Each structure stands twice: as C-alpha cells, then as structure tokens.
A and B are shown apart, each in its own frame.
Chain A
Amino acid sequence: MRTKDFAYWLFLAPVLIALTLVVIVPMLLGVYYSFTSWNGITTGEFVGFQNYIDLFKDERFLASLWFTTKFSVISVILINFIGLSLALIVTSRIKTSNLLRTTFFMPNLIGGLILGFIWQFIFIKVFASVGEMVGMESLQVWLSTTETGFWGLVILMSWQMAGYIMVIYIAYLQGLPKELLEASEIDGASSFQRFRYIVFPLVAPAFTVSMFLTLSNTFKLYDQNLSLTGGGPYNSTEMVAMEIFNTAFVQNTFAYAQAKAIIFFVIVAIVALFQVYWNKRREVEM
C-alpha cells in the first residue's frame, strides 16, 4: 500500500486546495454569517438562532418553497417521461434518428436566461396573437396569472432538459443486450411487456442519474425563473433560489438570506441523497 504516501497527497493537492478555497471555506463562513446580523457591509452582532426561527414563520419563504416543490415534482416526472419517450423514438429504427437526436438536444445548448426570454416572447406575444385570432381569452393572459406562470416554467424546463436526459437514456438503451430482447420476443412477449419487464428494469441506473440531475436542477432553478416570470405576478412564481437572492440583494438582509440558503441546502441534500438511495435499490445488476 503506497496510496497514502507523499505523492498521493501531492497529486490531490491542487484539487483539494481549490475545493477548500471555493467550496468549503465559503460554506463555513456562510454558516457563521447565518448566526449574525450581517448586512453585506459589516458583520453585525451574533444573534444565535434568530434567523432560523424567523424563516420558519416567513410566509413568502414557505410559499416559494412550496412552489418550488410543486414545480420540481411535476418537472421531474415530465422531463423523464419526455426524455425516455424521445430516447425510445430515436433508438427505434426510423430513418431520421440522427437528425432528430440533434434537434431534440439543441434546446439544451441555449443558455437559460435567453431561453427564458424566448419563451416569454412566445407566451406573451405568440400565444396572445393566436388567442386573438381564435378568440380564446385564456391564451391572452399567459404569465400574468400564477397558474400560467407555473405551467410556463414547467414547459420551458421540460423543453430544455428533456433532450439532455434523452441522451442519458439513449446510452443505456443502446447498451441493452440484444439476446435478452430477442429471447423475450421468441417467448411471445408483446412490445409493451418487453418494455415493462426487460427494458425498464435494465435502464433503471439511468433513472438514478436522470432523476438526480433533474431534481437538483429544478430545485436550484434561477435564471429561467428570472427571465421568464421574474417571480411575478406578486412574487407568486418566485422559487427558493430567487427568494434567497431577493432577501440578500433587494432587502439587504444578508445574514437572513444566508440562513435560508443553509436550510435550502439541507433540504436539497436530503432529497437528493434519499432519491439516490431509493433508486439504487431498484437497480438490477446484470
């Protein structure tokens, strides 16, 4: 065993130093600040758990947490459903599959902010014009109500992330052993049965990865939220990341925002770890 000798640590050093400087130290500082009345300029006095007590009574924070949870659950289901469907389409024997792969993946190459503005244009202008033409009132109010703002975000996010998730599923689908599928076919399994009992369990590892990615991405969403709705109307489509940003930079209560961020971190960590643990148990080893 020479893994723990001097050279081992030397090789690790650059990464460790970088990680400590940009992740661990700020994190610890953040924890410290969350116990003070820091306003971004001066640290202020030590206030103990006051910030944490306040935030559980903060209706706006709780509302944004609930909104984010709803958004995440629906988005995770939709993105994975669409991603898997797209993957199944492009791995089936259709001629344009390469073109389709590229097309489906394309939205993921555009930055979140820009996507938000593009979709804002679609929802506000295109939807309204179509609504005017066919005389549908409900198409003309997009993004001006909480519900349409919510679904606008879900549509935007699904459109953007489904292609990326599709790529992950494709990788697993292509790795499926052909003999298993063939054997099931000979045994007389219908295509649905084949999918349900052979394909589905075998791509389970892809679920673990995809769910983790979608879950953490939707929970921490900020830029799409900012450019599409900006939290409006009346802050009702404000997600946690944005709420924390506003607490810090609009209301200038940095320590309070820091406390919120730590609670948020804990929630995301618990949810993500639980999800990975749960998914892992369902994976089938070959």
Chain B
Amino acid sequence: MKEFKFKKGLLASLLVTTSLLAACGNGGEEEGSSAEGDKVTVDIFQFKVEFKEQFEDVVAMYEKENPDVNIEITTVGGGEDYGAALRSKFASGNEPAIFNIGGPQDVADWKDSLAPLSDTAAAEAALDGTLEGVTVDSEVLGLPYNQEGYGFIYNIRLFEEAGIDPASITDFASLEEAVKTLDSKKEELEIESVFALPGKEKWVTGLHLSNTFIAPEFNHNVLDAYDSKTIDFTYSDAFKKILDLQNEYSKQPTVSLDYSQQVEELFSLERVAMIQQGNWAYGSIDGIDPEFAENGIGMLPIPVEGYEEGGLPVGVPMYWAVNKNLDEEVVEASKEFMDWLYTSEAGKTAVVEDFKFIPAYEGYDTSKISDPLSKAVYDASEAGETIGWVFMGYPTGWGEDELGSNIQKYLSEEATWEEVVDSAKAAWESSRQ
C-alpha cells in the first residue's frame, strides 16, 4: 500500500514537471507558426487606446486588400506603462515590427532598432517641422501619428452672457480682464469659479503649461531643448502670471484636482468657464454632453507675455517607428503599411474621419475635421500661429517629476516661485552633465 502511494506521488510530481516543461515548449511553437505560409506578419505594438477599435477596422481593410500581409496589433495604453511594456516586449525576444517612440530621448534609447524611413512616401508628405524630433543626421527614424494642440478651452455661452468677445482676447492683459469680468459675474452665470486648474495632473502644469513658456527659449525646436545643457527660464515671469491667474480664479484646492474633475465634472457640466486642455479633451466632453461639445466650446491661446501672445502650442505627441532588426520583408511590409495609412486615399479618409486625427501630413481634406477644438488647432497650424512642442526634449522625468511636483509645492505655498525655478534649473543641469 505504501509502495503504491509512493508511486502515485511520483507520477503526480512527474506530471507536474512535464506539464511545466510542456508549457514552456508551447510558447516557442506558437512563435514559429506565425511565419507559416507565404504571409508576412507585422506585429504592431502601439499605445493609443482611444482609437484601438477604429485602428483595428482600418487594419482589417488593409489586410483584405493585401492578402499576403498579416497584421497583429497589441495596444498598451498610458504613457509610462507603454514604455515599460515595450521594454519587456523587446527583452522577451518577441520584438514588434512597428512601435511608438516619443521624441529625441526615445530615439537615442532605441537607436539600435530604428529603421531609416526617409525613403517612405509618408516621410515625404509629413508637414514641415513635424519630423525634427526624430531626425538624426538627416535620417528620418519616425513618422508622426497626428498633430495635437492645447490652449484655454472656453464655454461660448458663458462668455456671451458675460459680454466678452473671445476674439478680443489677444494678450495677457485682455485675458486677465476677461477673467475678472467672469469672476465678478459668478453668481449670475451660476459658475463655481472661472478656471479649474488640475494641479494633480503634473503633465498639465509641468509639461504642457511649462512648454508654452519654454518653447520660445529653444526656438520651438525640440532638438535644441534636447541638446541644451542649461535652461534659462527667460519667460518665467509670464509663466508665473498665467499660473497664478489660473490658480487664483480656480476651484480650490487645486493640488488634488484631477483631469476628470476638471474636464468632466466642472467644465462639461458648465460649472467653470475655462480650462487649460487640448483637443483630446473633446472626447471626454462629448461623453458628458455631446450638444455642448459640438457647439458650445472654443479654444483660446495661452498668452506668453513679452513674446508671442497669440500662438497655440501644437505638436506631434507620438511617432511610429519600424524595427530594423527583423527580416527584410517584414521591414518592407511595415513601411508599405505606414505609407498606405497616411498617403493612400482610403488611409487618409480613415485618419481624418475614423481616427478623428488632425493630420500631420500634406494633402488632406481638412474640411472633414469636425470637432471645434481640432479645428482651432488645425487653423492655428495652417496660419503658422503656433508654439512648438519641446517637452519631449526635456530631460527624462524632468517635466512631471521635477517641475510638475515643484509647481504643486508652489500651489500649496510650500515653496516660492524662485525656488521652483532654481531647483528646476539645477535639476536640468545635473541631468544633462
């Protein structure tokens, strides 16, 4: 009996071990099967959750047109999670063919894997200035997703009722004037405050707001920021004024106010008149009140006192990159897909109408851009009244972790503005040594 039990145990343990080993073996097999047949498999590893479904539909369309290409999409959302996921994806040996990079720092980190894309039609069609961040030695290494822009999104109805003409707001003085008027009529307008400043979202203050005042210092060029050993904060006074204005007339406490409170709860329900956000907020506003999103909102520039006071910060949030370490045919298929997506008629229609992107390429029918925020961004970009995006050229983590959290300190009155600026300068220098 004892003997029998022992054998049973032995069998069980053997089973466990073999199944463990079998599990390992299986993984390898699956990988192998993807190369079966004549099909080329292109793995796309991308970060934009918002357009996952539309993107999958468009890819399905492409696969139908090109039966010899099989495209697999993996979407991992959220900025920092994507970076970590991409690293582990590469570390696992299962490298994607197409992935996303953000700017000069990513280009430097991933340069051993980036295929040159200068010869693609998409790179040819990309708008002026959109390729700066991903060009190394005149070789293009990434293709822009789209353009995005931000500013002060305002409530048209409230402005009208307060008797303010948005077109008259062209500089800091007139903005301050308008804010004061709105504030004095708070009761009649039934709003809680003029602004909602989301101090908790360090990207709003540390990346976006700061970019408005730092970009002019670096000629709106992300590479200048990336290469710079120091930062002067030339427009730090203008920066402080806008921040103070937003903070003073915002719903308190600002330090714990987050994106969803700002956009959905306060702005979409018309409890504040103005917020600093970008065209991506359209989706959130649309989710709460489609009518309001369609007709009730507009975008104003963030005035940089002493510099351009009428420019909207417009830039490319993310780039596509092709992995050059894979087979030649996979690389070629990846490039062809990118070209198709951004330069073919079907692709162009999808980009504007399905993805609702503001195109970063020439030759688009821009009358199809439907939402008012994207339109404002596109118009500004057409007219050249823009401020560049340089925050991708900040030292890693500097914008949010250093400047953003110091701005929180300033908002909680734990630090003076000089301290914020000085420590941000010091941190910039020490990470660029």
Instruction: Enumerate chain A interface residues (CB-CB to B < 8 A).
Output: 7, 10-11, 13-14, 17-18, 39-42, 124, 140-145, 230, 232-235, 246, 248-252
Contacts and interface: CB of A to CB of B under 8 A. Distances in A.
A45 to B, nearest CB: 16
Interface stretch (B12-20, B50-58, B311-319, B335-343): B12-20
A250 to B, nearest CB: 5
Contacts of B90: 41
Contacts of B412: 144-145, 233-234
B250 interface: no
Given A144-B412, A233-B409, A233-B412, A250 B256 contact: no
A139 to B, nearest CB: 12
A233 B254 CA distance: 10
A39 B405 contact: no
B287 interface: no
A252 B405 contact: no
Contact of A251 (B10, B109, B253, B396): B396
A252 B408 contact: no
Interface in B77-117: 80, 83-84, 87, 90, 109-110, 112
14 contacts: A11-B13, A13-B13, A17-B17, A39-B109, A40-B84, A141-B252, A143-B256, A233-B200, A233-B256, A233-B408, A234-B408, A234-B409, A235-B401, A246-B401
Given A14-B17, A39-B109, A235-B401, A252 B83 contact: yes
B256 A249 contact: no
B358 to A, nearest CB: 28
A11 B408 contact: no
A14 B80 contact: no
Given A40-B87, A235-B401, A249-B83, 20 more contacts: A10-B10, A13-B13, A41-B110, A42-B112, A124-B256, A141-B253, A143-B256, A144-B255, A232-B202, A232-B255, A233-B200, A233-B409, A234-B406, A234-B412, A234-B414, A249-B80, A250-B396, A250-B400, A250-B401, A252-B109
Contacts of A234: 405-406, 408-409, 412, 414
Nearest to A229: B256
Interface of B: 6, 9-10, 13-14, 16-17, 20, 80, 83-84, 87, 90, 109-110, 112, 199-200, 202, 252-256, 396-397, 400-401, 405-406, 408-409, 411-412, 414
Contacts of A143: 256
Contacts, number: 83
Nearest to A10: B13
Contacts of B405: 232-235
Nearest to A39: B109
Given A41-B90, A250-B401, A232 B200 contact: yes
A142 B6 CA distance: 61
Contacts of A248: 84
Contacts of B13: 10-11, 13-14
A252 B86 CA distance: 13
B255 A252 contact: no
Nearest to B404: A234
B91 to A, nearest CB: 8
Nearest to A18: B20
Nearest to B14: A10
A5 B344 CA distance: 70
Contacts of B406: 234
A10 B13 CA distance: 7
Nearest to A252: B396
| Among B84, B110, B112, B411: residue with most chain A CB under 10 A | B84
Those 3 A-B pairs whose CB atoms lie nearest each other, nearest first: A144-B253, A144-B256, A251-B397
A232 to B, nearest CB: 6
B109 to A, nearest CB: 6
A155 B209 CA distance: 35
B401 A251 contact: yes
A230 B200 contact: yes
Contacts of A14: 13, 16-17, 20
A235 B401 CA distance: 8
A144 B409 CA distance: 10
B408 A232 contact: yes
A233 B408 CA distance: 6
B410 to A, nearest CB: 9
Contacts of A39: 109
A7 B10 contact: yes
A7 B401 contact: no
Contacts of A230: 200
Contacts of A10: 10, 13-14
A140 B255 CA distance: 12
| Among B255, B406, B414: residue with most chain A CB under 10 A | B255
A39 B9 CA distance: 46
A232 B26 CA distance: 44
Given A14-B13, A141-B253, A249 B6 contact: no
Given A124-B256, A230-B200, A250 B10 contact: no
A230 B405 CA distance: 11
| Among B17, B396, B405: residue with most chain A CB under 10 A | B405
A11 B16 CA distance: 10
B17 A13 contact: yes
Contacts of A233: 199-200, 255-256, 405, 408-409, 411-412
B130 to A, nearest CB: 25
